[in-house]
Structure 1
């Protein structure tokens, strides 16, 4: 068949067969009836039939497609079904007279019809985002399918098909005529020419076999794994099966993924790696992969444009066109050379290294050993208090170093902090592919290797054999296009003799293209091979040390106790913070939406200065007499309600709650203590005893000591009793527990609870709940403990203390977390009578609690909170943020409720708004995707289905917006 005939066949519209006519075919030829739904297709007409027992797909095809081709499809399906480990495939259902391909005539037009089993499962096309697990699983599925077809042959496979990538060039030429936009047509044509040029030398080495050639999101069915990820395990639609290039089969799959890649061509690499692990590819095939992906992208766009022109009512094609344009744009966004290296690296194949042994010095008058290299990385001591965001900070630091040492340079392969971007959904280009040198103007520059000089727009290039040297800041000594020998002088550093000048140095193997100065961290391995280190020119110290995150994490896992968990399965290495932002070692900035410890924000210079000054003067234990402990104790007491005037200073919230319980026991002479289910109060023996969260301790409900009495958590949204009138039900549970304690005749020590239900997700207690409980507890001689460790200290915005929201005054207040902004500091505030009860058991002492440094930290935190009006910010920004989160409920069924106030909020995610089934797996996956988008977030609650939103109180409205926008992106696109 000629290419012209091939394209003519491709121009056919879908068969003109209505749903009613399809029903007649099903009844007359297969004896089946039921509900009929049309399915999308480009050139077939497909209908799904739902009967009482099962579902089927009726495929109606033009007679222009030979019966032999359809027989090949049926035979391939049967062949695959006999292979162990092969994907699921649909069965071909015979007609009532035993035929697998039936000729039918509809309104004088003859068609060929087949009936297939409907393969149950979810497709992959609908989600706008697929996680790495799904991408890898699709690659593995494609490999298993190809492997199962390796020994399949059929005469119907040798056919002409417009999608056959072996014919991509000629087919594209024919299809391009349908594109009326000349600029778009020229761009697409040039792209195809470039792709074909790279494919042609490799073509003789590409394996041929039977291939499905359309393993895309539309043509697979998936199940969900235990993390909620879509994992494809079945394949449908064998309409494009041919004998073709094996690597072309994978190229089709990779191209299909690009519409979900969010513009990142490296998104396909997990699929490539997974494919290669199942069904290994040759190096030539791997080198051909990306050009074939680009060729497929061209054919997709050109074919859809043409199909729309001849079948304008085809909504299926029209709906696909936008994603196919997105595929094309992503495919052409990266150089072929970059993707080739990335693909090879993904499967463990190393590319050749640059040979530099014979190179001559670039700066013959300067000894590389005398060059000082400036640290501009994330952990650089030169950076503090956000100064890395100042314009030209890198050049200014470089010039300062050069003024001190004579010659200074920046480092290659460094993740520049100055290149970081706040509130960015994509990782910024922080990886440095060049070196800047500050040195004496007029310094001689020599050619390290032989080549030809190119001088354009003040950009100097020495073009060598397989390598180019790019220089900026050069006064050239040669004419443009001049030939030079190794060691020959080619220019001088711009600037007057004796003054400092700047020289930019970059190597590149790309021909005819100026390389980027920086790349994103995920591209660093590939780009560093295209733009190798200038170590041969400037000495080995020009290379910045690479982050050892994986090695450090392994070290952590080897020596840190296993119960001491970490956020995320593959956590970023965080080494810097600033305000509500945290930075990993690659310069990626994250909006910190969960760090309630750093109440002021990260890296506050005023706090650091206060702690440093105090440490230089004195730090000791609290049994010594010094002014800070008296001043800080007085300030804490002044924050509490009248009568709570006595302070204990401790190290942590666990210690504070443990001490509060001991105070209750000592003061009442009783031990029985009332607490709430789903609560968390700490890890010491006593505080853990009253912690009942099964998320923190799966055995919590079966291992409480006899003195602990846990009552129903008063959760009016998803608890036992729901709604605004539910308080009575929860109070009845408390009263029943109190009566049970009364019956023991051993007295009541007290009641401990967070005034806002922090661990469960910032859930407010029912109105009047604490008033009623506190009254009953005190009537029995018990004391009331308000655990303000998480929710208090201004975080609620509308109130400084959580108990103020309930209109009560506790007997004991415990605090920690933010009161030291990360410095280990906690406190218990109570009455003098309760405090002095402890002396019956001896004196109290905390080694670091109330030390001079701790007190300095605590007072400075209070000063900054007042001066920067952080409680007011928590109210204003918190209310704004809550309003935006509440608006998500209308658009996303998974969002059940928004809890809390100020900057202690919880977003509860449910699978069903009626049953309120917790969306536990989804919440974990959403947090993982948010990390990829630059937001730090974790789940909380007994079912780990609540996003715990408790950022630093300096959170800006811009960062709140970014968080909501990224969350909405995840909820809309998938996770």
Structure 2
């Protein structure tokens, strides 16, 4: 029901004896009106439906009355009694009851309407709320014990409305923060101090006058909840549109703590509470949009809430905890440890040849989609961890795994639906001939199994690989990885391994401009099959990555695999596509790398992104190879195909599809490569930019004619962008290729910043 202005004026006259002019104001759940008497005195008139009980409105009256005798009274309105002396007037019309209340008017401007606030005002806000909460220590009212959707303690319920957020990136981010709430906050809720609080000190309820907080309005969100939630709400809205929200929030915390001391436990979860309040807000806005509400108040904070969530995910939670602790004078969390002790213990108890990246080592303690957080409070954009395909701690993948591991995890000797469901879902992404799955724990193990199957199927032992290739760390995988066996400390090439020429159209003999480069490089494979034939041998298999990773982030030249597969099959061998690095939509144009070459392998090997970092890999083969391998000798893998791994695999496929990650990889990858090519026009150190989707390489050279590798320049570039918060790595036979293989949530804003810092790094060389 909408109330006509004339009706409101009549009700005020009838019940309060005032002649007024009324003006409608906005409101989420109530009808609000500004009243002005002929003498210029202003009031606020509120009309609420019977969705809430009389007792709840009584609680509002009582809490304001309780605060009337405290130091915050001057910043609060008071209730004006009706003609009968009551503060709540019941009005009945039609089949509905309404509750009428008349309030004094508070002077001031809404916080949200002031473009800039000095530091002291943030502290003043916190101080005011702290004093109010301290004054409410001995207040109680049973009507405030209620379920309320905006109560931050109920933030996990916002998951039910996540589906209303149609933008994939936003839904994923909100889901991530709700997951963190469930993990970091929910187990602690019952241990926190609880109180009767206002719970809605937002930027449209806080008034500012004469350069200080002058008032707080609207007690319709008050609830009995965790005390810290009241401060969390205030911080959330006070820092919207601030360039440094953590700094501003710390000022509010400092002011509150001065008036009403907080505990370490409370401030340590404040970051997650702020994020949770934002998630409630954006999911409510999305839900309201889905039901096509026309109440503008339902969307008033939607844009600034999203803007703040995007800022918040760039803030290391440890840095937030440290800042809030510092504001309260508590023990800090971040120190200047140089890791010497940790490095020494690692050297004593962990294999010495397990490498660590970067000159100044990183200790990563948390991950969030495309972001990594270290123990010093720094945030990094992860540009290299392609195993975390769907993003670090992707909420859908995590929750599916949590649910399954809390239900059952065992081996494949028992029947279970997940392994069949996943095998069907996975093979549906492949050509029909690739229909039988074997599950392992790593790409190395999968490649090992693929070679074993190929040797069994063909009765041959010899393997053809590409020079500089890398296929894993098992004994067999190392034997067919020139990147390893030809390197320092390597054991050299085994006689049954044969290296074909790396089809590098930048450095190799056949360049980009050669339309027949693919066929010419493939001829080297034909040469090897011919030599094997002369020795009365035949290849068991040819294996190569469908885009070369360690070999230099190299896309294969057109028509290379069709020619190679023809030569291998003519010689009686099996064709294995290693999709461990590039599968699952990363290349954008296709789901699998081999599709770029329009070929169908006999065996496909998958790993890394298949489980979003969970130890899972797969070998998918034809029925013929599977039948031959089923020769009476049992294949059993203790962990391969377990229910938790299968749940992870299913979740990853679901997320790739539901969030349209393949198209995102295509669009974002093209955007980034175009930016790199623009840098290439400006800086001659960039010799080549290549890749597909979010599988990108930029080769750095000292001279574009001699192609001398830019070493140590590339290391300086990597270290510089690391100092700016972007993690890159190097690859290629000469270690002069920047490899860019980020988690799929990596976006255009990340790309813009990376390009900016790369440009700065190149300009300093």
Q: TM-score when scaled to structure 1?
A: 0.47
Cα distance in 2 for residues equivalent to 1:553 and 1:417: 39
Q: Does 1:557 align with 2:347?
A: yes
Q: Match for 2:571 among 756, 780, 795?
A: 780
Offset at residue 859 of structure 1 (A): 0.3
Aligned twin of 1:812: 603
Aligned twin of 1:267: none
Q: Match for 1:709 among 478, 484, 498?
A: 498
Aligned twin of 2:510: 721
Q: Match for 1:884 among 668, 672, 675?
A: 675
Q: Compared with structure 1, are the counterparts of its residues 774 and 428 closer, same or farther at alpha carbon in structure 2 (3 Å cutoff)? A: farther
Cα distance in 2 for residues equivalent to 1:845 and 1:800: 29
Offset at residue 542 of structure 1 (A): 4.3
Query: Helix, strand or coil for the counterpart of 2:176?
Result: coil
Query: Helix, strand or coil for the counterpart of 1:745?
Result: coil
Aligned twin of 1:859: 650
Cα distance in 1 for residues equivalent to 2:704 and 2:601: 36
Offset at residue 747 of structure 1 (A): 2.3
Q: Compared with structure 1, are the counterparts of its residues 682 and 429 closer, same or farther at alpha carbon in structure 2 (3 Å cutoff)? A: farther
Q: RMSD value over aligned CA atoms?
A: 4.1
Offset at residue 650 of structure 1 (A): 0.7
Q: Does 1:947 align with 2:741?
A: no
Aligned twin of 1:790: 581
Query: Helix, strand or coil for the counterpart of 2:631?
Result: helix
Cα distance in 1 for residues equivalent to 2:628 and 2:397: 35
Cα distance in 1 for residues equivalent to 2:539 and 2:485: 28
Query: Helix, strand or coil for the counterpart of 1:911?
Result: coil
Cα distance in 2 for residues equivalent to 1:613 and 1:852: 11
Query: Helix, strand or coil for the counterpart of 2:194?
Result: helix
Query: Helix, strand or coil for the counterpart of 1:855?
Result: helix
Q: Summarize the alignment of residues 28-43 of structure 1 with structure 2, pairs less than 5 Å apart.
A: none
Aligned twin of 1:608: 398
Q: Does 1:756 align with 2:550?
A: no
Offset at residue 971 of structure 1 (A): 0.8
Q: Compared with structure 1, are the counterparts of its residues 893 and 534 closer, same or farther at alpha carbon in structure 2 (3 Å cutoff)? A: closer
- Which whole-Å deviations, capped at 9, do the CAs of 1:10-32 have from their partners, x for residues lacking one? xxxxxxxxxxxxxxxxxxxxxxx
Q: Summarize the alignment of residues 216-295 of structure 1 with structure 2, pairs less than 5 Å apart.
A: none
Q: Match for 1:907 among 698, 705, 718?
A: 698
Q: Match for 1:655 among 442, 445, 463?
A: 445
Q: Summarize the alignment of residues 17-56 of structure 1 with structure 2, pairs less than 5 Å apart.
A: none
Decide whether the 8 Å contact of 1:628 with 1:852 is kept in 2: yes
Q: Does 1:686 align with 2:485?
A: no
Aligned twin of 2:364: 574
Q: Summarize the alignment of residues 345-744 of structure 1 with structure 2, pairs less than 5 Å apart.
A: 385-386=176-177, 401-403=192-194, 436=254, 542-544=331-333, 546=335, 550=339, 551-693=341-483, 697-700=487-490, 703-725=492-514, 726-744=517-535
Q: Does 1:894 align with 2:661?
A: no
Cα distance in 2 for residues equivalent to 1:600 and 1:880: 19
Larger gyration radius, structure 1 or structure 2: 1
Cα distance in 1 for residues equivalent to 2:496 and 2:555: 27
Offset at residue 931 of structure 1 (A): 0.5
- Which whole-Å deviations, capped at 9, do the CAs of 1:456-508 have from their partners, x for residues lacking one? xxxxxxxxxxxxxxxxxxxxxxxxxxxxxxxxxxxxxxxxxxxxxxxxxxxxx
Cα distance in 1 for residues equivalent to 2:421 and 2:359: 44
Offset at residue 579 of structure 1 (A): 1.7
Query: Helix, strand or coil for the counterpart of 2:355?
Result: coil
Decide whether the 8 Å contact of 1:433 with 1:532 is kept in 2: no
Q: Compared with structure 1, are the counterparts of its residues 872 and 552 closer, same or farther at alpha carbon in structure 2 (3 Å cutoff)? A: same
Cα distance in 2 for residues equivalent to 1:613 and 1:409: 28
Q: Compared with structure 1, are the counterparts of its residues 661 and 427 closer, same or farther at alpha carbon in structure 2 (3 Å cutoff)? A: farther
Cα distance in 2 for residues equivalent to 1:694 and 1:615: 36
Q: Does 1:937 align with 2:728?
A: yes
Decide whether the 8 Å contact of 1:406 with 1:440 is kept in 2: no
Cα distance in 1 for residues equivalent to 2:472 and 2:479: 9
Decide whether the 8 Å contact of 2:501 with 2:524 is kept in 1: yes
Cα distance in 2 for residues equivalent to 1:626 and 1:793: 24
Offset at residue 557 of structure 1 (A): 3.2
Aligned twin of 1:380: none
Offset at residue 599 of structure 1 (A): 0.9
Decide whether the 8 Å contact of 2:458 with 2:573 is kept in 1: yes
Q: Summarize the alignment of residues 205-224 of structure 1 with structure 2, pairs less than 5 Å apart.
A: none
Q: Compared with structure 1, are the counterparts of its residues 573 and 790 closer, same or farther at alpha carbon in structure 2 (3 Å cutoff)? A: same
Cα distance in 2 for residues equivalent to 1:871 and 1:563: 36
Offset at residue 605 of structure 1 (A): 1.3
Offset at residue 832 of structure 1 (A): 1.6
Decide whether the 8 Å contact of 1:420 with 1:588 is kept in 2: no
Q: Compared with structure 1, are the counterparts of its residues 963 and 386 closer, same or farther at alpha carbon in structure 2 (3 Å cutoff)? A: farther
Q: Compared with structure 1, are the counterparts of its residues 444 and 810 closer, same or farther at alpha carbon in structure 2 (3 Å cutoff)? A: closer
Offset at residue 687 of structure 1 (A): 1.0
Aligned twin of 1:959: 750
Query: Helix, strand or coil for the counterpart of 1:746?
Result: coil
Aligned residues: 500
Cα distance in 1 for residues equivalent to 2:461 and 2:676: 42
Offset at residue 618 of structure 1 (A): 0.4
Query: Helix, strand or coil for the counterpart of 2:483?
Result: coil
Cα distance in 1 for residues equivalent to 2:239 and 2:359: 24
Query: Helix, strand or coil for the counterpart of 1:749?
Result: strand
- Which whole-Å deviations, capped at 9, do the CAs of 1:591-615 have from their partners, x for residues lacking one? 1111100111112111111101111
Decide whether the 8 Å contact of 1:534 with 1:542 is kept in 2: no
Offset at residue 431 of structure 1 (A): 13
Q: Compared with structure 1, are the counterparts of its residues 592 and 428 closer, same or farther at alpha carbon in structure 2 (3 Å cutoff)? A: farther
Q: TM-score when scaled to structure 2?
A: 0.59
Cα distance in 2 for residues equivalent to 1:743 and 1:811: 25
Q: Compared with structure 1, are the counterparts of its residues 910 and 440 closer, same or farther at alpha carbon in structure 2 (3 Å cutoff)? A: closer
Offset at residue 878 of structure 1 (A): 0.9
Aligned twin of 2:638: 847
Q: Compared with structure 1, are the counterparts of its residues 696 and 427 closer, same or farther at alpha carbon in structure 2 (3 Å cutoff)? A: farther
Aligned twin of 2:623: 832
- Which whole-Å deviations, capped at 9, do the CAs of 1:240-297 have from their partners, x for residues lacking one? xxxxxxxxxxxxxxxxxxxxxxxxxxxxxxxxxxxxxxxxxxxxxxxxxxxxxxxxxx
Decide whether the 8 Å contact of 1:695 with 1:943 is kept in 2: no
- Which whole-Å deviations, capped at 9, do the CAs of 1:152-203 have from their partners, x for residues lacking one? xxxxxxxxxxxxxxxxxxxxxxxxxxxxxxxxxxxxxxxxxxxxxxxxxxxx
Offset at residue 843 of structure 1 (A): 1.7
Cα distance in 1 for residues equivalent to 2:419 and 2:697: 36
Query: Helix, strand or coil for the counterpart of 2:656?
Result: helix
- Which whole-Å deviations, capped at 9, do the CAs of 1:805-853 have from their partners, x for residues lacking one? 1111100000011110011110011112212322337221222111000
Decide whether the 8 Å contact of 2:485 with 2:493 is kept in 1: no
Decide whether the 8 Å contact of 2:334 with 2:375 is kept in 1: no
Cα distance in 1 for residues equivalent to 2:453 and 2:433: 16
Q: Compared with structure 1, are the counterparts of its residues 636 and 893 closer, same or farther at alpha carbon in structure 2 (3 Å cutoff)? A: same
Which stretches in structure 1 are left out of the alignment for 5+ residues? 1-362, 367-382, 411-415, 446-519
Decide whether the 8 Å contact of 1:881 with 1:960 is kept in 2: yes
Query: Helix, strand or coil for the counterpart of 1:385?
Result: helix
Q: Compared with structure 1, are the counterparts of its residues 648 and 759 closer, same or farther at alpha carbon in structure 2 (3 Å cutoff)? A: same
Cα distance in 1 for residues equivalent to 2:253 and 2:336: 18
Aligned twin of 1:99: none
Aligned twin of 1:163: none
Cα distance in 1 for residues equivalent to 2:239 and 2:625: 52
Cα distance in 2 for residues equivalent to 1:643 and 1:908: 37
Decide whether the 8 Å contact of 2:519 with 2:563 is kept in 1: no
Aligned twin of 2:561: 770
Cα distance in 1 for residues equivalent to 2:691 and 2:651: 27
- Which whole-Å deviations, capped at 9, do the CAs of 1:879-916 have from their partners, x for residues lacking one? 11111111111100100001111010100001110011
